[in-house]
A and B are shown apart, each in its own frame.
Chain A
Amino acid sequence: MNAQVRRVAASPYARRLARERALPLEALRGSGPGGRILAADIIGYVPVATPDGAAPAAAPSIAASRIAAFATSVALGALQDLLAALEGSGRVFDIDDVLLCAAGRAFAGIPDAAKPGDTSVALELAGRQAVFAMIPETSLTSLRATRLAALADSRDDAERPAPLSLRVLPASDVRPVMMPLLPGRAMRLTVSLDAPGIHAECLLTTDAGSIDEAIAATWLSALKSAIENPLRLFV
C-alpha cells in the first residue's frame, strides 16, 4: 500500500455508482460531511468541457426507435419449496401465476412520478394476449382463477392498454438475448425457465424513449426480489 495515496471519502453507494460509470473518484467533489462523496455527486456529475471546446457529436437527426434490454437470473428454489408446501395443503399454483403476480407487484416499487398510469400486465398466449388489471391487493388465488378463465376463453386483449407484456418460454437450452417490443407495449418481459426449474432467466426489453433506464432496472430488480422471497406474494 502506498501511504502517500490520499484516502478519498465516499459512501459505499457512491463508490458503487462511480465504479459502474467508470468515473474516477479523484475527479469528483464530495458534498457530504468532510467532503465525503455521495451518490448525488455521482448522479449529478457533468464532465468538464474538452479544451478545444468541441461540442459533443450531434444526435442523429432521425428519431430512431431505441430499445434497451436488461437481464437477470432469478433463483426459483424458495418458490418451488413454497409451491410444493402449498400443494401439500391442497393449494395449487403454477409458476405463471406467480410471475404474473410478481410482475404486477414490481410496479409498486417504482417512484410514483415515473410509474405508468396503468400497471396492467398482458400475458402472451398462443397468438393472442390476455390483459390482467393488477391491483396490489389482488390475492394469488383470485389471480389464478382469472388466468385460468382467460385460458379457457379465446378473447384477444392485444388492443387493451398495458405497459408490459409477459412471455413465458418453455424450458430449453437456448434462450433469446433480445426480443422486440409488441405494439403498444413499452416493456416486454421474456422468461426462460431452465430444465430443472431451478432458475428463470428474465429478459426485460423496454422502449428507452419512454422508460428510464434506472426505472427499468429497478423494476426488474423488484421482480427478482419478489420471486426469490416469495412469501410476501402469498400474504
Chain B
Amino acid sequence: MAMSAARARDDFKSAPNLPDKQVLLDLFERMVLLRRFESMAQIACRKGETPGFLHLYIGEEATGVGVCAHLRPTDWVTSTHRGHGHALAKGADPGRVMAELFGKADGICGGRGGTMHLYDRSVGLFGTNGIVAAGIGHAVGIGMGARQQGRDDIGVAFFGDGAANHGGFHEALNFAAVQRAPAVFVCENNLYATATPLKSITLNPEISTKAASYGMPGVAVDGNDVFAVWLAMKEATERARSGKGPTLIEAKTYRTVGHHEGDPVIGNYRTQEELDAWIKRDPIDMFRNKLIEDYGVADAEALAAIEARIETVVEQALAFARNSPEPDPATVRLHVFADPINPPAALQPRAVGETRTQGWLEAVRDGIAEEMRADPAILYFGEGSGERGGSFAHTKNLWQEFGADRMVDTPISEQGFTAAAVGASATGARTVSDLMFADFVFETAGQLFLQAAKLRYMTSGLMSAPMVVRVGAGALRSSGPHHSGIYHPVFAHMPGLVVCVPSTPADAKGLMKTALRAGDPVIMLEPKALFASKGEVPVGEHYVPFGVARIARAGTDITIVAAGQMVQRALEAAEALAAEGIESEVIDPRTIMPLDIDTIVASVRKTHRLLVVDEAWAMCGLGGEIAQAINELAFDELDAPPGRLHTAPTSHPFAPVLERAMLVDAARIAQGVREVISGKPPVPDHWYTVGLKSSAPAKSASAPAKPQPAAPAPATLSAGGDEPITMPFGDLTVSEGTVVKWLKAVGDAVREGELIAEIETDKAVVEIEAPINGTLSAIDQPVGAVVPMGGRIGGIKK
C-alpha cells in the first residue's frame, strides 16, 4: 500500500513539477518566520520572560510549513507539545502567539493556555497539546464532522515518533481508515521520544509502514526538505478532500535543540557527530541553496530581503508580547462552563401537558431521535450501537432512521472514537460517545478529563467540546467488578464536566435532550438497574435543566439526598419510616455537577437533619461533600450530625450474597435515618486505618445479611407435578418479555429441544424450547401476556 519509500531530493531536480515561484518563496518565508520567532522565544525564555516549559521546533520547520501550505483556514490541524511552528505555519498571528508564550492577556488563548495549549479557531488551529497522541483522534473527528456538515474541510494531525507507539495513534488510524475520514496524519519522526531512541522502543522503526496495518497509504519523506513534504501533502490532501480516506506521512527530521529549553542539546542520548550531520541538512539553508542554485527562482539578495522583513515581524511580535497586560486575576473563575450552563431550551417555562407511560430506554431513545432530527450535525459513536441497536437495545431503530453515517458503529477503541467525538464536537458538530459501561470510561479518561473538560478553559471560552458521554452505570445483579461502577464523584471532581445521574425515565430523557443542546461535555450516567423501569414521561419537547434538584418526597423530620437507583431505595425506606411516624424528605439532585445545594439547604432548614445516600464510594465522595456544605451554609439549622451511607469500600463482588452485603438497601437507609434522628449517625469505615492499629477490633459494620429476592421469584413446580416452561433469564437489563406466539397447543406431544413458543423482549425475540419430552399440559400465559423473567408460562407432563 505504501506509495513509495523516501522521496529523494533529486526526484524534482529537473523540476518538471515545480509550482508557481511565489509558492516556493512563501515556503521559504514561512520557514524563516518559524525559525526567527522561536530563536526570539528561546532568548526570552532564558531571560525568564516566559513562564513554564518551552519546547522548540528548531530544525523541523520544513515539515510544518510544507504540510500547512495546502490547508485552508477552515481546515484544522492538531498538534503537539512542540507546536509553535504548527501554529505559525497554520497562520496564527505571531504577536498573539508570542503573547501567549508570555502568559499575557492578548495571547491567542488569553494567557490560560500557553505554549502547549495554543488554540485559534480563526485559522483552524485545534491546539498544541501537552498529551502525547491526544490530538490524533481529534483530527479524525474534525474531518468526519466537516463531512457531516457538508464541507470538504479536513483534519490534519501532527505528532512525533513517540506517539507512534501509543494506543491513541493506533486507535485513531484504524477508526479513520474504516470511516474513510477526511484526515491526514503527519508523523514528525525526529528519532527520539524525549530522550528515548526510536530504534530502542520498536522493532519496526519505519513508521510509514504501520499504515498498512490499517489499510491506508503510508509515505516516508525527507522532513527537512520542504518541497518533498509539500509534494507528499499535496497528494494526501487531495485524497482526503475527495473522500478517498486518510494518509499517513512520516517526515524524517531532527530537532537541533534540546527536548525543551534548558535541556542539553546532546545530553547523554545523542552524539555531537549526529547533531553536526543534521545541522548540515538544515531545512532553511538547504532550501535557500535550492531556490538560488537548483530552481533559479531567486537570488541571495531577494532572500535576504525576505529574512530582513521577517526579522521586523518577529521583533514587533516580541514587543507586542512584552507590552501586553497580565490577565486580570479576578477572571480566574471564568470559562469553566458555558454561562449560563443550561441551553435556552432547558430554561423555557414548563408547559404542563400530556404524559405517557414509557420504559427508560424507549424514553431516552425518543429524546435522542428528537434531537437528531432537529440537528443534522449530531453524530453518534458507539460499539454496536449501529445496526445492532446497542448492547442494551438503547439505540434500537436509530440506525434505521439516521443511517450508518450518523449512527457510527465503532471498533472497541474508546480512546480513538472519543477523541474523534471531542474533535467533531469542538468544530461545529455535536457528538455522543457511547462507551457502554461506566467502567470503560477509564479507557479514554484522558480524552475526557484532559481534553474535553479543559478545552473551554484553556481557550478562555473561545472553544468547547459539546459532547455527551453515554454509559450504563451502577450495580445490577452480579455484573461483577468490571461492569458495575458508577464513579460520578470521579467525574464531578473535574472542573468542566457536567455529570448527570437521572432516576426516572422522564428525567433521563429530559437531561439527555438538554445535554444534546448544552455547551459543555456531559457525562450521562444512566443506572442500568433502571433500564427496565417505567414511568410517566411528558409527551413532546421535554427538557430537564442541569442543577435543579427534584423533591421526590416531601417530609418534615429528615432530609435524605439520593440519586440514581438510590432514589427508589430511599423512597421505600421513607414509606417504612412513615409507619413509625418519621416523615422523610427525599431530594434527588438529578445532576451531580452542577449540584443544587440550595434545594438541599432549604430542605435541611425545614427538617434540621440530613442523611446522604449514594451508590458511589464514601472516600472523597458525595456524603462528605454535601455534609460539609451544610456545615458551611446551614450549621445553625442542624439538630444532629449529618449521616452518610455509601456502597461498601470494595470492588463489586460477583456472588449475589456478597454483592447484597456491599450495596445500600432500603433497610439500611431506614436504619441510618433512625440513627441520625437519635443523634448518632452511622460511622463509616472507609479509611482503612483499622489494619494500622495494633489491636484491630473486628468490626461488624455491615448490616446483617438479609435474604432478599434478587429478581422475580423463579417458577416453582406446580402442584400438578408438571415440568414448568419458563420465561428465560436473559440480559441483565431486561426484566420481562411478551409472549408473541405459541407453536403448540395443549395436548400436543413435544420432544425435548423442540420449539414451542416465542417471547419478545426489548432486545430480541427468544425461542422457547421444550425442557423435556412429554405432552404440553398447560398454557398459563396467552399470546400478548407480559411475563417477568423466570416466570412460568406453561407446563409439560411426561
Contact = CB atoms under 8 A, between A and B. Distances in A.
A152 to B, nearest CB: 21
Contacts of A108: 554
Contacts of B556: 111
B545 interface: yes
Interface stretch (B221-229, B323-331, B466-474, B631-639): B631-639
A12 B635 contact: yes
A222 B556 CA distance: 14
A91 B349 contact: yes
B350 interface: yes
A235 B349 contact: yes
Contacts of B351: 139, 141
Contact of A12 (B548, B598, B638): B638
Given A12-B637, A13-B636, A39-B639, A234 B350 contact: yes
A94 to B, nearest CB: 14
Interface stretch (A68-76, A155-163, A176-184, A224-232): A224-232
A11 B350 contact: no
A89 B599 CA distance: 26
Contacts of A218: 606
Contact of A225 (B602, B608, B638): B602
Contacts of A13: 608, 636-639
B678 interface: yes
Given A14-B639, A139-B351, A139-B352, A33 B598 contact: no
Interface string A14-47: 1110000000000000001100101100000000
A86 B640 contact: no
Given A13-B639, A141-B349, A229-B598, A85 B680 contact: no
Nearest to A225: B602
Contact of A86 (B347, B350, B639): B347
Given A16-B636, A33-B678, A109-B606, A91 B348 contact: yes
DSSP class of A's interface residues: helix, strand, loop or mixed?
helix
A193 B324 CA distance: 45
Contacts of A89: 344, 347-348
Contacts of A33: 678-680
A67 B344 CA distance: 45
Interface string A77-116: 0000000011001010000000000000000110100000
The interface centre, meaning the residue of A12, A15, A234 with most chain B CB atoms within 10 A of its CB, is A12
Given A11-B638, A234-B349, 5 more contacts: A39-B608, A111-B556, A140-B349, A235-B349, A235-B545
A228 to B, nearest CB: 9
Interface size range on B against A: 20 to 34
Interface of B: 340, 344, 347-352, 545, 547-548, 554, 556, 598-599, 602, 605-606, 608, 635-640, 678-680
Interface of A: 11-16, 32-33, 36, 38-39, 85-86, 89, 91, 108-109, 111, 137-142, 218, 221-222, 225, 229, 231-232, 234-235
A32 B679 contact: yes
B342 to A, nearest CB: 9
Contacts of A141: 349, 351
A38 B636 contact: no
Contacts of A232: 548, 599
Nearest 7 pairs of A and B residues by beta carbon: A16-B636, A13-B639, A32-B679, A33-B679, A11-B639, A39-B639, A12-B638
A180 to B, nearest CB: 30
B347 A85 contact: yes
A37 to B, nearest CB: 10
